[in-house]
Amino acid sequence: MTVDHPAIRVRGLAKSYGTVEVLRGVDFDVARGSILALLGANGSGKTTTVRILATLLKADAGTAVVNGFDVGAQAAEVRESISLTGQFAAVDGVLSGRENLVLIARLRHLDDPGAVADGLLRRFSLTDAAARRVSTYSGGMRRRLDIAMSLVGRPAVIFLDEPTAGLDPEGRIEVWRAVEELVGGGVTVLLTTQYLDEAERLADRVAILREGRIVVNGTLDELRRLLPPATVEYVEKQPTLEEVFLAVVGRRA
Amino acid sequence: MTIGDTAVLTGRTLRHVTRSADTVITTAVTPIAMMLMFVFVFGGAIDTGPTRYIDYMLPGILLITIASGIAYTSLRLFTDLASGMFERFRSMPIARSGLLWAHVLTSLAANLISLVIVVGVALIIGFRSGADVLGWLAVTGILVLFTLASTWIAVIAGLTAKTVEGGSAFAYPLIFLPFLSSAFVPTASMPGPVRWFADNQPVTSIVDTIRDLFAEQPVGDDIRPALAWCAGILVVAHVLAMVVYRRKIA
Ligand SMILES: Nc1ncnc2c1ncn2[C@@H]1O[C@H](COP(=O)(O)OP(=O)(O)O)[C@@H](O)[C@H]1O
Ligand SMILES: [Mg+2]
């Protein structure tokens, strides 16, 4: 494991379910300490890719190396290096927010699970709700807790599979802030999304998955250069539904 | 580390039990209602010789208690799979067998609590046993073995269920099995083919053994098939559950 190797390296990854070829040779790298957004329509294979990288699913062909470890041959080491926030918030509704965090901290054999939990609760503005059962949380709060649980033990690589799917605009912004919190600590993030604006806001690079392959991979500027040159038009700007919603509930992005 | 992780995970599922006390109560209430009905309504019409009816039928009620308790085990397992908690644990560096064992140990604990409640009510309405500590230990041992065997069946159901209802439906035949055994009525009173089934199915030998232990009688020929059934079901269900589990997480 050398520092100049990318944190994630994927080459020729292929996966079929029965006769349905979902991945047909996916290649991409994620540099250490950066955020890559894997952008793709519903059913394009984003979750399949993430589950292979998180050792939950075996690929049919190709290689994937995470934090210097092969996902097939060194699954245990990969699991030591990663955390997964799946497409649906995987939180324990019967436990309180704090108990959820303490549980993960104990499973990661940390020295002071209570202190780790309290720190994360503060960081994700969940301190007030810490003692409440998670089943009473809003969608945005569940997601924030979900992401906080993924940070326990400071894994080197974090997978976020559609972290804002199914959230209202307010919840979406809460989660965006939580993801922005991750940056800076040297952590590497692979994020999947269906939304260009989400990729734009959060990611250093964007890879577009289509028909089982990465069709475009670049920085946002590089992606913009692929579009026809901008023309200047004057249009009356209508507020977006999102802006209206946020104005009504009294919050700003 | 594996044992430590399993302990942490078991602590979590035990909290699920203590925080939904209604599941423990529901588990105990149905067998208690059956017990009251059999003892006070039907019992007078059933001839169990010199044995008092409550003493005769309690072992069967205890097995029904376990059969209704394990439905919650498969329900908790199914919920963990459906909620994504299982995937979260599986992507962490913890032993994967620990995930199942946490549910199995919790099932054992929850069922023992329900059994204590049911025996408590039985004592109140007149159940008496002169069995000594060794006798009670033997009864407990058989009940633990039966719980483990049924729990691994519940694990298979929880792992393969597509819906919540599917996850607990498997328990109904198990709850019904004691009715086709010597649990409530001596098999001698049953018509030919039913009697043959009742004499040869696992519940009869288990129930007869427990009854003998409670009555301080020699357990005789029943204990061998009773233990063989429990151990056999335990081994087969455990192996099957592990096969299903590996296939599920492959
Ligand atoms: N376990 C499975 N069995 C069969 N088909 C599946 C399975 N999981 C996903 N698929 C199919 O594979 C395709 C890609 O799914 P997925 O990776 O979940 O896409 P995305 O996350 O981009 O929406 C979809 O067409 C989906 O129906
Ligand atoms: Mg998906």
Q: Does A193 sit in the ligand 1 pocket, CB within 6 Å? A: no
Q: What is the mean pLDDT of chain A?
A: 87
- At A87 the pLDDT is 80
Q: How confident is the model at residue A164 (pLDDT cuts 50, 70, 90)?
A: confident
Is the predicted pLDDT of residue B143 greater than 90, yes or no? yes
Alpha-carbon dihedral angle through residues B158, B159, B165, B166, given to the nearest 10 degrees: -120
- Token look-up 């990318």 returns A6
Q: What is the mean pLDDT of chain B?
A: 90
Neighbours of ion ligand 2 (CB under 5 A): A 46-47, 87
pLDDT digits (tens, 9 = 90+) for B144-176: 999 999 999 999 999 998 888 887 888 888 888
Kindly list the residues from chain B whose CB atom is less than 8 angstroms away from the CB atom of residue A82.
91
From A36, A46, A8, A27, select the one nearest A189 (Cα to Cα): A36
Q: Which whole number is the average pLDDT over B232-238?
A: 95
**Residue B96 domain boundaries:** 2-249
- At B91 the pLDDT is 92
What's the predicted TM-score (pTM) here?
Answer: 0.86
Q: Which whole number is the average pLDDT over B101-128?
A: 94
Q: Which is more confidently placed, B145 or A233?
A: B145
For chain B, the domain total comes to: 1
CA of B83: which chain A residue's CA is closest? A90
| Structural contact between residues B57 and B35, judged by C-beta atoms closer than 8 angstroms | yes
* CB neighbour list of residue A239: distance below 8 Å, 6 or more residues apart: A247
Cα→Cα distances A207→A30, A37, A53, A213, A214, Å: 10, 6, 16, 10, 6
Q: How confident is the model at residue A136 (pLDDT cuts 50, 70, 90)?
A: very high
CB crowding A50-68: b at 16 or more within 10 Å, else e:
bbbbbbbbebeebebbbbb
Q: Which of B19, B87, B94 sits opposite A107 (nearest CB)?
A: B94
- At B89 the pLDDT is 93
Q: Which whole number is the average pLDDT over B98-114?
A: 93
Q: Which whole number is the average pLDDT over B78-103?
A: 90
CA of A155: which chain B residue's CA is closest? B92
pLDDT digits (tens, 9 = 90+) for A35-94: 999 999 899 999 999 999 999 999 999 999 999 999 999 999 999 999 998 888 899 999
- At B24 the pLDDT is 78
Q: How confident is the model at residue A253 (pLDDT cuts 50, 70, 90)?
A: very low
**Percent of chain A residues past pLDDT 70, beyond the cut:** 89
Nearest protein Cα to ligand 1, atom 25: A43
CATH topology of domain A1-31+43-79+196-253: Rossmann fold (3.40.50)
Q: Which whole number is the average pLDDT over A193-207?
A: 89
CB contact under 8 A, A94 and B90: no
Is the predicted pLDDT of residue A6 greater than 60, yes or no? yes
Q: Which whole number is the average pLDDT over B68-76?
A: 92
pLDDT digits (tens, 9 = 90+) for B56-65: 999 999 999 9
**Coil, strand or helix at A6:** coil
- At B59 the pLDDT is 96
pLDDT digits (tens, 9 = 90+) for B181-225: 988 888 888 888 888 998 889 999 999 999 999 988 887 777 888
- At A228 the pLDDT is 67
- At A252 the pLDDT is 46
**The sheet that has A69-70: what strands, in order across it?**
A20-30, A8-17, A61-66, A69-70
Is the predicted pLDDT of residue A202 greater than 50, yes or no? yes
Closest ligand by atom to A88 CA: 2
| Structural contact between residues A210 and A203, judged by C-beta atoms closer than 8 angstroms | no
Question: What's the ipTM?
Answer: 0.86
